[in-house]
Amino acid sequence: MKHFSKIALSLAAGGMLLSIPVANAGNPDRSGQAGASQLLINPYARSSGWAGANGARAKGLEAQYMNIAGIAATRKTEMLFARTSWLGGTGIHLNAFGLTQRVGETGAIGIGIMTLGTDKIQRTTEDQPEGGIGTFQYRATNISLSYAKMFSDNIYGGINVKVLSEGIDNVKAQGVAIDAGIQYHTGKHDQVHLGIALKNVGPKMQYKGDGLTFQTLTSGGYELSADHKSGSFELPSLINLSGAYDFYLTKDSTGLLQTHRISLAGTFTSNSFTKDNLLVGVEYAWKNMLMIRGGMYTEKGIFKGTDSRTTVFTGPSCGATFEIPFGEKKTTFGIDYSYRFTNPFGGVHSFGVRLCL
């Protein structure tokens, strides 16, 4: 009965998340109508190596992007820094850093900051289309504050509040978004993982600033300053449904030896403003010290050539982790890398460094 109640609670909570409306999910006709698209970029090397398919078993700070419930698995303290070269050759770079901290017996809090920036861009006007009048840069910043809790040994739940800012020096937009997620882990050795996450729910955003001001002449020949009013835009809300299973290849007298592990994972993403995605991935781990992973990002038309493909990604991704334990307190230091294939551009390289205390 106790086990049944845990499953019922998990399903009920998942139903509550699904009941929150995500309008016109998976509607490609609405592509380009949402803003704050940096919310859809995974800045972390470990999870992006298997295409973001591991939402059901994501842990620590990376769970802020995948499924916020996963930060409840933080053992004590985790610190992480990641650097991404986005679409090689475009001059776009992402930095992500933050930490998660165990609070009490069952809770954990997290703070994460992601920044996206471009190289300097020539400022042009109608009268000076070749530039020579200065430069500008686009900047976007997401600050995330999170809390997650272990409701039982099997069920984790969490919520994440994000403060958003994006724009250039004289035109900017600010906003707020909320994520919520649940993870359910079961099986004799907790090898079965299920997850559901609702992401990027919040009010519309709007650009404002002096850059929207222009000069015009009145009928009397006087110069007058006037403001353009930009239209508001929605956030790219979505729902992730994830599952994963761990295979342990060696056993001892207890029935389990975690020397060799192979994990299979999959995530279905229902998007509000773009095509839906199916993400699949696999990871091999040796003693949780060396991990090699690969993944596949799919959506309708992605494998039918450039005429049908509406994303720069061609599908595959790969990555690896080398994590070293040291000290009596089981502290670990890890290095992560991932590569996502694109056409055109030179792919996406991500590097990460983490310290778990």
CATH of the domain at 115: 2.40.160.60
Confidence of residue 177 (pLDDT cuts 50, 70, 90): very high
Which DSSP symbol is given to 38?
G
Is 202 contained in some domain? yes
Mean pLDDT for the stretch of residues 107-126: 94
Domains in the chain: how many in total?
A: 1
Q: What is the residue range of 128's domain? A: 2-209+226-356
Cα dist. 260→251, 255, 289, 291, 292 in Å?
10, 13, 10, 10, 12
Is 161 contained in some domain? yes
Is 20 contained in some domain? yes
Helix (H) or strand (E) holding 17: helix 2-18
Using the predicted structure, report yes or no on whether residue 205 has a pLDDT greater than 60: yes
Using the predicted structure, report yes or no on whether residue 283 has a pLDDT greater than 50: yes
Helix (H) or strand (E) holding 237: none
Is 215 contained in some domain? no
pLDDT at 144: 98
Round to whole Å and give the CA distance between 47 and 197: 15
Which DSSP symbol is given to 234?
B
Helices vs. strands in the chain: H and E counts, helices first: 3, 18
Is 216 contained in some domain? no
Mean pLDDT for the stretch of residues 269-288: 94
Residue 227: what residue type?
D
Is 217 contained in some domain? no
Residue 66's SS3 state is: helix
Buried b (16+ CB within 10 A) or exposed e, 160-183: bebebbbbbeebbbebebbbbbbb
pLDDT at 38: 94
Round to whole Å and give the CA distance between 120 and 105: 48
Mean pLDDT for the stretch of residues 240-264: 85
pLDDT at 128: 87
Q: How do the residues of the chain divide into helix, strand and coil, expressed in percent and rounded to 5? A: 10, 55, 35
Using the predicted structure, report yes or no on whether residue 11 has a pLDDT greater than 90: no
Mean pLDDT for the stretch of residues 156-172: 96
User: Across the chain, what does the average pLDDT equal?
Assistant: 88
Round to whole Å and give the CA distance between 152 and 131: 60
Using the predicted structure, report yes or no on whether residue 219 has a pLDDT greater than 80: no
Is 214 contained in some domain? no
Mean pLDDT for the stretch of residues 223-242: 87
Is 8 contained in some domain? yes
At 49, give phi and psi (nearest 5°). -60, -30
Winning range, highest mean pLDDT, from 181-190, 245-254, 304-313, 348-357: 348-357
Cα dist. 121→92, 134, 298, 311 in Å?
11, 9, 33, 24
The reported pTM is: 0.88
- Beta-bridge mates of residue 182: 157, 196
Confidence of residue 19 (pLDDT cuts 50, 70, 90): very low
pLDDT at 211: 84
pLDDT at 327: 83
pLDDT at 29: 67
Q: Which residues contact 196 (CB under 8 A, 6 or more apart)?
A: 14, 17, 18, 67, 181, 182, 239, 240, 241, 242
| The length of the chain, given as a count of residues | 357
